[in-house]
Structure 1
Amino acid sequence: MARYNELWLQPRVPEPAQNPFPDPKPRTRPSEADVFVCVDACFTQKRHKSQPDAPKTHPDTHFIPDELSAQMEEYVERVRGDQTSKRAKKATCEEVEDEDDHYAHPNLHVSEANLDVCEESFTAADERRTKSNTQQFDITAIMGLLCRHDRVLWLLNMRSTGEKQFGALLLVEELFQHLPEDMQVGLLYDIVCQLARSALKWGFLERYFPRLAFAVAVFHAFGHVWPCQLVFHPRYREGFGFTNGEGCERFWHSISHLIAHLRISGSHHRLYVLDAQIKHADETSLFKLAEWNHRRSLHSKAKRVEAEDELEDCDYAVSWLRKQWKAQVASQTKPVARMTQKSASEKAIASVLAQRQVVSVLKEKKAEIEANLLDAADRSNTDDTLLLASDLKKARAALGKAQTELKRKEGALGVDGRNKLNNKTQAKFLELRVSALALKKRLRDLLRAHKFEREALERNSRRQQGSDRNLRDHTLNAIKLRRPKIVKLNRQYNETCDKIAAEIKSKRAPRRAIPPPKIDPKILFQLDIADTVWQDIGLEDPEEEEKEVPPWLGDESVRKGIRAMLVVDRANEEDRILEKERRSLRIWFAEEWSILELAIQHADSQAAAYFLHRRRRRLLALCTTWRKYLPDAEYANEIAWGPSDGEVARYMAQRATAARGRDDFEAFMGEPEKEAEEEEEDEVDFGWLDTLNTEEVDSDSDHSDVED
């Protein structure tokens, strides 16, 4: 276990007006990450509370100590302070519609509203929702960090009722403790948008943030809203190739047969069994790394060929498609206009109108007090007169203060604002028109996102197997949960259109004003190019009319071309990543072989020499397996395998021949053969048994032929 730099344990209070994250240093290498890891939790790996068992620790344990986990949890809670409880009381998206939407952070191009929707879509994102009963279970889940080759790096026992972020933060911290300072990391997580928001807001992983690239695991990607997918989906962002982050799910499935046994086992026994299972899986997967790389290369090649054919069919230049893609991302990731969001001038006018109402009420109150004062004077009631005189003095002071505030607000309007304000017959119409326009823009953005995420889910579902149906159902339900909100917005927009039409009919609107057309709820989700939702007739001034529908939205061939272009980009990235991995495999094996040869020459005992000999045979087996899938011509001149061709040939011949006689260790050590007499005493030749068995089989077959 690496020795921790305890900077992350110190409380941090960043200055609110200063960005605490320095810009990353420029890199001369490609933009792809050097390593790719995935974080995920499995809530089926629980353990009942039981009596402690005898200590037993695996020599190559993958589990982070519980003491370190408790320290990270305390650190995260201390940094967040009371904000966690305040956020738990935050209203839902429907209850905060009057708030202006905005980006969560300048370095995170996803708005707060979309992040809140993603948080509600995933049970794992809600730390207040119970997944396990802590009264019954001592360990409620396992959270793991795996590389993109499905190999386990670290595991963490969870004892909370939900998937809290400190677990993911601790695993990432552990990873960076073992990496060089210039290595880039691609991190995939099912709720990575929430992790990135917390890291930017509270300063978690601050030292490593310039070296981190976030992406959502494909297994959970389609449960996110569309703007979040545009930013975090590995198919839409640069540097990830075809990395999907599904290794965690495969690992949980591989240890699913241990659930019943480990749920009632002791704590130390449970960890030892899991470590032993992981050790066996690592040994098996090591021999399959080259085959995995070859298989991914074939997959990338097939994807590229298919995408290049689509690019040729769409007949658009790649540079133009790239501009359209940038325009699409910029349009669909901007903060969505709220229902009641108004321009600055409209807000100022509304404030003046409200202040006029205040002045009017104060004038009526002052007139009422004056009338009561005259009546008290006529009745010669001294007590009432004195009391009313005091009230009248206060009312006049309040009225004077309100009138001063009104003059200040009217003076801040400007010429255009005062012209609109003075036309009292149009005030209600203008307010309704602004509200209808904000409603329509928000409805349009939500419909766009809904259409694109539906298309992405449908394309993915065609390639899904039967085991992925639960995932598809989950993501489809997450998308359906957003439909009632769109329907509600459509109903409110149509009601506002009716009110605008009533204002025009009552002649309380400007001349030549026309009512905006309503949107038919029956065709709301079809989104044809000529639908009413794209037209702002009657809602904006002529100079503010929206331009025609952009090609990335209205032209299906352009959208297909953009998708094909992105696939080609990911295929190119994947080829570079795989080429780098093949080189790393060759370099690793060459170093292992050279170090092993040096260790064999300096072995100081027969036992150590035998152990190194067995290690050498294992590396020979690994070499013969890898050479089938790693082309020798690619690095033959710069990176030699290590074993000679003769050694590899002899080992392959021994593997193809039945093992007989003594182990080849003595021949390897160069010891002389023993005398024949000594061999006869200790050694029995079983070759005649093979001959006898063969003769018996042949005789049986002959008899069977005769009988037939």
Structure 2
Amino acid sequence: NNEALYKLRLWLRRKVLVCAEKLKDAEEVLRVCGIPEEVLRDEWQAQIKAQTKPLPRKFLTYGSLPNLVIIDMSSESWDVAAAELELQSGLDTLQRAQRKVTKKEDTLGVDAKHQLRSLVKSPFLTKKMNARALKMRIRERLRSRKFELDRLERSYRKQRSVEQRINEHTQDSVKRRDPGISQLAHKYNKLCEEMKTLIRQKKAPRNVVAPIQIDMEKLFELDVDDDIWLDVGLGYEEAGDETVPPLWLSDDNVRAGIRALTDRDRCHEEQARLYEERNAIQLWFNEEWRVVNAAIQQGTDGDMQFQLNQRKDSLCRLLVVWERTLAGVPFAEELPDWGPKPDEL
């Protein structure tokens, strides 16, 4: 209706101004943080990879294998297609792992191979791998909690009443998940105690060290020097995992830079969409103007001529309002003009 058409120019201008303001803020944060854009993008990709990778599973024995996935051909076609696509990548990963294991086994001597076979079903090794899986889950959940709380803190500083209910729901959700994190930490500490018991009973390999338990009072602080980052006795260094918190988690400047970088990218995308909307408005108006004038020139009856002239006057009034509001919004140079001549306005 006409009211929506008149409000369209206000909506578009408001979106353009808000987008420009957010873009300016993001560029200012990028300037202040002083981190090169290449470093921020690398850390952002590392953050995505770390937060989306599957966590290790927990097994009853270290030598046990996960259940095989069998493709049921009677399933839906898209399920079968998805499973077939994942099957090849899974086989490739399995072959690479088998080659890696074979290469490492070839470097072992006779005594080492015998010791390896005895360790496959070792209760100490099983608890060690389960403790490792638990600690990785605790880390990931603490990271997610930290990022959610950071979002709440930024929202409180902005003091936007529109996001107040979202913030309350987020805060309640964080509090509901805290007991689950504490429960995982208790399970981890229990495994550490059991591993210490096996070491005292000499049921563990020689020269092994029990992992450090998590201090429950400092569990949710997630500082750089917390015990949650210490992987003593878990074999992380053998797997090539990082024992130092990554920059995207521990460095405030990097974290602020990543947020600003993603905000800037989204602002550029939003600007492109808004400019396309501006072009579409002018194209629509030009077509409406040409259709109305073509109908008037056909010389229909008087009542229809009156309605067409009313429509023409309405378009002129609409253009006067639009042009004043949309001034300064970029548009494509190859666009046709609006249509009406200055004397018609």
2:263 corresponds to which residue? 567
User: Counterpart amino acid of 1:607?
Assistant: D
2:134 corresponds to which residue? 439
Q: Give 2:248's match in structure 1, choosing from 545, 552, 566.
A: 552
Alignment of 1:56-67 (within 5 A): none
1:429–1:566 Cα change, 3 Å: same
1:494–1:556 Cα change, 3 Å: same
1:505–1:453 Cα change, 3 Å: same
User: Following the alignment from structure 2 to structure 1, what is the Cα–Cα distance between the partners of residues 41 and 114?
Assistant: 46
Check conservation: 2:148, 2:170, Cα contact below 8 A: no
SS at match of 1:481: helix
1:327 corresponds to which residue? 46
2:95 corresponds to which residue? none
Check conservation: 1:311, 1:565, Cα contact below 8 A: yes
User: Following the alignment from structure 1 to structure 2, what is the Cα–Cα distance between the partners of residues 341 and 621?
Assistant: 73
User: Counterpart amino acid of 2:64?
Assistant: K
Check conservation: 1:421, 1:427, Cα contact below 8 A: no
Note if 1:311 corresponds to 2:30.
Answer: yes
Q: Give 1:297's match in structure 2, choosing from 16, 20, 24.
A: 16
Check conservation: 1:420, 1:427, Cα contact below 8 A: no
SS at match of 2:44: helix
User: Following the alignment from structure 1 to structure 2, what is the Cα–Cα distance between the partners of residues 580 and 602?
Assistant: 33
User: Counterpart amino acid of 1:536?
Assistant: D
SS at match of 2:324: coil
User: Counterpart amino acid of 2:40?
Assistant: L
Q: Percent identity?
A: 34
Check conservation: 2:275, 2:331, Cα contact below 8 A: no
2:211 corresponds to which residue? 516
User: Following the alignment from structure 1 to structure 2, what is the Cα–Cα distance between the partners of residues 457 and 341?
Assistant: 37
User: Following the alignment from structure 1 to structure 2, what is the Cα–Cα distance between the partners of residues 636 and 423?
Assistant: 73
Pairwise CA distance, 1:417: 7.1
2:290 corresponds to which residue? 594
2:102 corresponds to which residue? none
User: Counterpart amino acid of 1:293?
Assistant: L
User: Counterpart amino acid of 1:572?
Assistant: H
User: Counterpart amino acid of 1:601?
Assistant: Q
Structure 1 unaligned residues grouped into runs of 5+ = 1-281, 349-413, 649-708
CA deviation profile, 1:210-259 (whole Å, cap 9, x unmatched)? xxxxxxxxxxxxxxxxxxxxxxxxxxxxxxxxxxxxxxxxxxxxxxxxxx
Pairwise CA distance, 1:638: 3.9
Structure 2 unaligned residues grouped into runs of 5+ = 66-104
Larger relative contact order (Cα-Cα within 8 Å, sequence gap ≥ 6): 2
2:68 corresponds to which residue? none
CA deviation profile, 1:28-47 (whole Å, cap 9, x unmatched)? xxxxxxxxxxxxxxxxxxxx
1:321–1:542 Cα change, 3 Å: closer
User: Following the alignment from structure 2 to structure 1, what is the Cα–Cα distance between the partners of residues 240 and 171?
Assistant: 35
Note if 1:286 corresponds to 2:5.
Answer: yes
CA deviation profile, 1:159-195 (whole Å, cap 9, x unmatched)? xxxxxxxxxxxxxxxxxxxxxxxxxxxxxxxxxxxxx
2:225 corresponds to which residue? 530
Pairwise CA distance, 1:470: 3.0
Note if 1:643 corresponds to 2:340.
Answer: yes
1:449–1:542 Cα change, 3 Å: closer
1:503 corresponds to which residue? 198
Pairwise CA distance, 1:284: 2.0
Check conservation: 2:124, 2:198, Cα contact below 8 A: yes
Note if 1:482 corresponds to 2:177.
Answer: yes
User: Following the alignment from structure 1 to structure 2, what is the Cα–Cα distance between the partners of residues 527 and 541?
Assistant: 19
1:468–1:315 Cα change, 3 Å: closer
1:634–1:456 Cα change, 3 Å: same
Check conservation: 2:60, 2:126, Cα contact below 8 A: no
2:318 corresponds to which residue? 622
Pairwise CA distance, 1:606: 1.4
SS at match of 2:149: helix
User: Counterpart amino acid of 1:306?
Assistant: D
1:557–1:479 Cα change, 3 Å: same
User: Counterpart amino acid of 1:647?
Assistant: E
Check conservation: 1:536, 1:546, Cα contact below 8 A: no
Pairwise CA distance, 1:585: 0.7
Pairwise CA distance, 1:458: 2.9
Task: Give me the TM-score of the superposition, normalised by structure 1.
Answer: 0.40
1:456–1:466 Cα change, 3 Å: closer
User: Following the alignment from structure 2 to structure 1, what is the Cα–Cα distance between the partners of residues 212 and 133?
Assistant: 15
1:635–1:566 Cα change, 3 Å: closer
User: Following the alignment from structure 1 to structure 2, what is the Cα–Cα distance between the partners of residues 640 and 542?
Assistant: 67
2:278 corresponds to which residue? 582
Check conservation: 1:342, 1:434, Cα contact below 8 A: no
1:334–1:283 Cα change, 3 Å: farther
Pairwise CA distance, 1:434: 1.2
2:304 corresponds to which residue? 608
User: Following the alignment from structure 2 to structure 1, what is the Cα–Cα distance between the partners of residues 59 and 282?
Assistant: 59
CA deviation profile, 1:538-561 (whole Å, cap 9, x unmatched)? 111653353232211221111111
User: Following the alignment from structure 1 to structure 2, what is the Cα–Cα distance between the partners of residues 641 and 542?
Assistant: 67
Alignment of 1:424-463 (within 5 A): 427-463=122-158
SS at match of 1:518: coil
CA deviation profile, 1:670-700 (whole Å, cap 9, x unmatched)? xxxxxxxxxxxxxxxxxxxxxxxxxxxxxxx
Check conservation: 1:342, 1:438, Cα contact below 8 A: no
Pairwise CA distance, 1:449: 1.3
User: Following the alignment from structure 1 to structure 2, what is the Cα–Cα distance between the partners of residues 598 and 541?
Assistant: 77
CA deviation profile, 1:137-161 (whole Å, cap 9, x unmatched)? xxxxxxxxxxxxxxxxxxxxxxxxx
User: Following the alignment from structure 2 to structure 1, what is the Cα–Cα distance between the partners of residues 119 and 323?
Assistant: 84
1:447–1:466 Cα change, 3 Å: same
SS at match of 1:288: helix
Pairwise CA distance, 1:563: 0.9
User: Counterpart amino acid of 1:571?
Assistant: C
Check conservation: 1:447, 1:525, Cα contact below 8 A: yes
Alignment of 1:79-158 (within 5 A): none
1:578–1:342 Cα change, 3 Å: farther
CA deviation profile, 1:654-681 (whole Å, cap 9, x unmatched)? xxxxxxxxxxxxxxxxxxxxxxxxxxxx
User: Counterpart amino acid of 1:643?
Assistant: P
1:347 corresponds to which residue? 64
Check conservation: 1:290, 1:582, Cα contact below 8 A: no
1:336 corresponds to which residue? 55
Taking only aligned residues, the RMSD between alpha carbons, in angstroms, comes to 2.5
SS at match of 2:254: helix
Check conservation: 1:290, 1:630, Cα contact below 8 A: yes
User: Following the alignment from structure 1 to structure 2, what is the Cα–Cα distance between the partners of residues 569 and 490?
Assistant: 38
2:88 corresponds to which residue? none
1:342–1:569 Cα change, 3 Å: farther
User: Following the alignment from structure 1 to structure 2, what is the Cα–Cα distance between the partners of residues 624 and 342?
Assistant: 75
Pairwise CA distance, 1:593: 0.5
Q: Give 1:422's match in structure 2, choosing from 118, 121, 129.
A: 118
User: Counterpart amino acid of 2:30?
Assistant: L
Larger radius of gyration: 1
User: Following the alignment from structure 2 to structure 1, what is the Cα–Cα distance between the partners of residues 327 and 336?
Assistant: 12
- Between the two proteins, the alignment pairs up a number of residues equal to 299
Task: Give me the TM-score of the superposition, normalised by structure 2.
Answer: 0.79
By percentage of residues, which structure has more helix? 2
